Amino acid sequence: MHPVDNPEERLAYLRDMTEQALAGKATGVPAFDALALVVAECGIPHQWPRDLIQGFAMDAAGFSPRNEADLLTYCYHVAGVVGLMMACLMGVRADDTDTLGRANDLGLAFQLANIARDLSEDADAGRCYIPMDWLAEADIAPGEHMKTHSRPAMAKIAQRMAHMAAGYEASARIGARRLPFRCRWAVLAAAGIYGDIAREVARRGASAWDHRVVTSKAAKAGWVARALLQAL
């Protein structure tokens, strides 16, 4: 949650090492050599790792969305594309566009929940992932969105974001039905755990950022059990 001195240099390194991995070259760096193996074994389209790197680039450039479409584009690059790659690891074919779309939706749901939960932390770091036109609609001035007087309006915006997340979560649950049992179980558990984050932020209203919303170990265990029944 703090800026680095050389973001462009780091991005160049990530891009270079990723391209070497995609080309099947040994890099001597375990993470990238593992990426090369996984991409080759699971048939992951090369554009997807590149799309993920673009998410890093957006943050390095100080990205802030102008509208909902910008927000969802960002969510794709930092989370939705991870869902696509994970789906391939779980056996989804690269031409199964409907199931892959639902895997992307799960990533979007996760990221929307994260953004809603972390609004205060992001503001402290000089970041804002709320679309500017949403803030304008709520009559919230730039840079004022986490001030005390803005909290009631921000609660409504967070509820709007949680509602969006719920829709994407529901879509992802349909896609989960098509996965092997163990993968289905894991995905449904994760969907429930992250969904609870968004739901709790919405429930707390203006006090959602007084204390960071977390999911307890007991609640996580509960979702693992419920997801087992759902998967069955």
Q: What is the pLDDT of residues 53-63, one digit of tens each?
A: 999 999 999 99
CA separation for the pair 153, 131 (Å, rounded)? 14
Q: Is 142 within 8 Å of 132 (Cβ atoms)? A: yes
143: CB partners within 8 A, 6+ apart: 128
Q: Is 130 within 8 Å of 114 (Cβ atoms)? A: no
CA separation for the pair 86, 36 (Å, rounded)? 15
Q: How confident is the model at residue 219 (pLDDT cuts 50, 70, 90)?
A: very high
Q: What is the CA radius of gyration of the chain?
A: 19
Structure-token pair, residue 76: 């794709």
Q: What is the pLDDT of residues 2-43, one digit of tens each?
A: 777 888 999 999 999 999 999 999 999 999 999 999 999 999
- Global model pTM greater than 0.85: yes
pLDDT computed for residue 4 by the predictor: 78
pLDDT computed for residue 196 by the predictor: 96
Residue 1 has pLDDT above 70, yes or no: no
In the numeric block, the tokens 């709320």 are attached to 130
Q: What is the pLDDT of residues 137-185, one digit of tens each?
A: 999 998 899 999 999 999 999 999 999 999 999 999 999 999 999 999 9
Mean pLDDT for all residues in the chain: 95
- Give the pLDDT mean for 103-120: 97
pLDDT computed for residue 187 by the predictor: 97
The domains found in the chain, sorted by start residue, are 1-42 (no CATH), 48-55+64-231 (1.10.600.10)
Give the three-class secondary structure for 107: helix
